[in-house]
Chains A and B, each alone.
Chain A
Amino acid sequence: MALTGVQIFKLLPKTNCKKCGFPTCLAFAMKLAQRQASLDACPDVSEEAKATLGEASAPPVRPVTLGTGEKAVKMGEETVLFRHEKKFVNPPAIALEIKDTDSDDVVEAKLQDVIGSEINRVGQLLRIDAVYLSNDSGDAGRFGALAEKVAQKAPETAVIVGTENPDAADAAIKPFSGKNAILHGATEANAERMAEIAKSAKAVLGVKADGLDALSSLTEKVKSLGVEDMVIDPGAKSAREILEYNTFIRRAAIKKNFKPLGYPVINFAQRDDALFESLVAGLGIAKYASIVVVSSAEKWKNLALFTLRQNIYTDPQVPMQVEQKIYKIGDPTPDSPLLITTNFSLTYFIVSGEVENSKVPAHLAIMDCEGLSVLTAWAAGKFTGSKIANFIKESGIENEINHRELIIPGYVAILSGAIEDKLEGWKVTVGPREANALPAFLRSAQAA
């Protein structure tokens, strides 16, 4: 249970030496109670205090890692229920289900889907993070063979081994020993043996039960068996159950510091229809899952889910902006067109994407407007004729291009006169209002 600031204070050295960066031990204790400081900051704290405080000051959702190496997925460590309060920390893993009843061709194709799923979107590499192996056959030998094949063909992919049969678990977890696989999982009936298998393979243990009461007692039991790293599965099937269980788990962990549910959550989103499955998976992504299992990995579906995950897990407090400068798109020459827009990162990504799309090389002037979009920046007086003129003059672009024509966004057509007044010898051309009209605009300008 959480300790109060005063309870924590009693365990500190009480010397007020300030080495922790706070003026007094009490001030430090208060911050610890709010989880805004880490106990490590005090060099003089006793071992005894560490042990007592360790439990209380541990993050409300235990950090657990799936897989190893560059593609390892960190899970847990979340601190809020709503993303506007604070950044959601660790984006959920998306795991593709492979069944041991799938034919060799299907297994092969799914592994290729996973390996080839990586996409670069606005500077981040996104991919299907893991495979979820299902022991649908119920046969240990067959499940072990599937695991061998996966380990061999996709050695870098993180693996979740899904079976309630300890013999099958033992056979299938072996190839992933020491690779931070997840063994999913432990139930009330098999917890002892599963805990042993997970420990010997250094695997994370997935713990599943029907409902949250049974789940909390089971995680306590598993913990007493010596397993610390768990992911939890409340047995949610419908979208409604996913929302209900995930919400209660997150609230219990964060608001009540309820340790038995302070673990990353795994959700199963498989549906017969791929489109519908993307909506259920999307619910898991938006509402607190750490792993979402899907049954297929179509490229269009991956792109939608990766993008949603990226959107939900961006930092709401950092204004999204890019650096002010003249970007080169394609391989522009001194005769290539010059466009200008604001430094709101979304504006930049959309405009640069469309310019790229047009296949017309261009100079793209991105002006610092504190991360505001064109219309908002204009309304706020940050994207004005004189400011644009100054920026163009100071950018040095005049030495790099032969022409003196500046293309401005259609929404601020009204600025053309003001810019021409301030930028002697320049001609302002009004571009389209929406970026998606840029390719046609640039191509016809080039043809002219």
Chain B
Amino acid sequence: MAFVPPKESFAGRVFPVTIGTGVQQTFGGENTLPFHSFEGEVPNRPLIAYEIQDVPPEDWPETVRKLYDGVSDDPVKWAKYCEEELKAKAVALRLVGTHPDSKDLSAEDAAKTVTDVLGAIKVPLIVLGSNHVEKDSEVLVRAAEAAKGHDCIIGKAQEANYKTIAAAAMANGHKLIAMSELDINLSKQLNILLTQMGFDKEKLITDPMCSALGYGLEYTYSVMERIRLAALAQNDAVMQPPMLADVGMYVWKIKETQAPEDVLPEWGSLEERGIAWEAVTASSLLMAGAELLIMRHQKAVEAVELFVDELM
């Protein structure tokens, strides 16, 4: 029996998103399932951004914190290090120091950090809040203003605070991350609310919420697959923005990236385990449809880039 490959093509396509002004990066744009270039078009690689913070990464485990010794006390040095030494294609600045339980830095402090970091790098910048609903709507508004003209990604807008953040992103010419918690309907609803207030859906990035390997990865994986099928097979335009996997933050807080080998010998080397945890979480979510990743460990990023090389 001669075999005819059961190729599938789709009516829908993921929006391509371009960010940055100096060096520009584009991700998304495919009209097929993740890396299915054997039956559709996959014009762009996924984009991996290195994560940095406005305050020193005291709660990052040693494995990843030590990579940034000597630069992580200053977000400007840290950002430059990522661009120059690690060849980062993009940088994600998390303003975690603005959280009331952290240093409670002001929106002005945050805006200054954003301005300084933008002055130091050429690659695109992603500006993230501290995930405190009220504080983010102050901080991200000022941050978006400070970054005007740089075509950044601002995030994350959630159901409780999307209006102010989206308005600021729109007024200052940025892309926007829309985050909801592990539910395709919530994702869709938030994207609809954003488009209803006039935000261009082609400037959105959907964050269905990340989870680490072993800690709910399968939820993120399946929500992403469902969102992608809605975009392609159902040609649902609200579901067509590319997706974010905010990997580093979720991976580097769990036990597998922290428990030393002498306590859990059956888990093997802590260093390699942590790196593998970040890389496997990232590569799995790429297979589910993520196009933008935020990661922390250089070795994990490099392994995932190599994996993408083999897939493209």
Contact = CB atoms under 8 A, between A and B. Distances in A.
Interface in A258-313: 258, 260-261, 273-276, 278-280, 282-283, 286-287, 298-305, 307-308, 310-312
Given A282-B284, A304-B280, A244 B254 contact: no
A311 B272 contact: no
A303 B8 CA distance: 35
A436 B255 contact: yes
B76 to A, nearest CB: 29
B266 A119 contact: yes
A258 B310 CA distance: 29
Contacts of B229: 82
A222 to B, nearest CB: 14
A239 B38 CA distance: 12
A255 to B, nearest CB: 6
A289 to B, nearest CB: 13
Contact of B222 (A84, A121, A280): A84
A424 B283 CA distance: 51
Given A256-B6, A275-B303, A283-B283, A316 B222 contact: yes
A308 B280 contact: yes
Interface string A81-112: 01110000000000000000000000000000
Nearest to A213: B3
Interface string B193-233: 00000000000000000000111111001100110010000
Contact of A376 (B3, B181, B221): B181
A216 B3 contact: yes
A215 B5 CA distance: 12
Contacts of A434: 253
Contact of B218 (A302, A314, A436): A314
B275 interface: yes
Nearest to A119: B266
Residue among B269, B275, B280 with max Cβ neighbours from chain A (10 Å): B280
A119 B268 CA distance: 11
B269 A298 contact: yes
B23 interface: no
Nearest to B258: A436
Contacts of B259: 357
A212 interface: yes
B279 A279 contact: yes
B221 A279 contact: no
Residue among B255, B265, B267, B283 with max Cβ neighbours from chain A (10 Å): B283
A376 B180 CA distance: 12
Interface string B259-286: 1000001111100110111011001100
Could you say which interface size class chain B belongs to? 35 or more
B279 A275 contact: yes
A304 B256 CA distance: 9
Nearest to B38: A244
Contacts of B37: 240
A303 B35 contact: no
B218 A311 contact: yes
B47 interface: no
B126 to A, nearest CB: 23
A136 interface: no
B250 to A, nearest CB: 11
Contacts of A11: none
Per DSSP, chain A at the interface is helix
Interface stretch (A13-21, A162-170, A346-354, A401-409): A346-354
B234 to A, nearest CB: 14
Nearest to A350: B215
A252 interface: yes
A304 B310 contact: no
A82 B216 contact: no
Contacts of B86: none
Interface in B158-200: 181
Nearest to A305: B280
28 contacts: A82-B229, A83-B218, A83-B222, A84-B226, A212-B5, A213-B2, A217-B1, A248-B5, A251-B6, A252-B3, A278-B279, A282-B280, A283-B283, A283-B287, A283-B307, A286-B287, A287-B287, A298-B269, A299-B268, A301-B268, A303-B256, A304-B276, A307-B256, A312-B218, A312-B221, A312-B284, A346-B215, A434-B253
Interface of A: 82-84, 119, 121, 212-213, 215-217, 220, 238-240, 243-244, 247-248, 251-252, 255-256, 258, 260-261, 273-276, 278-280, 282-283, 286-287, 298-305, 307-308, 310-312, 314, 316, 346, 350, 353-354, 357, 376, 434, 436
Closest 4 CB pairs of A and B: A299-B268, A300-B268, A300-B273, A239-B310
Given A274-B272, A276-B307, 17 more contacts: A83-B218, A83-B221, A119-B266, A213-B2, A278-B279, A279-B279, A279-B280, A286-B287, A298-B268, A298-B272, A300-B272, A301-B276, A303-B267, A305-B280, A311-B213, A376-B181, A436-B253
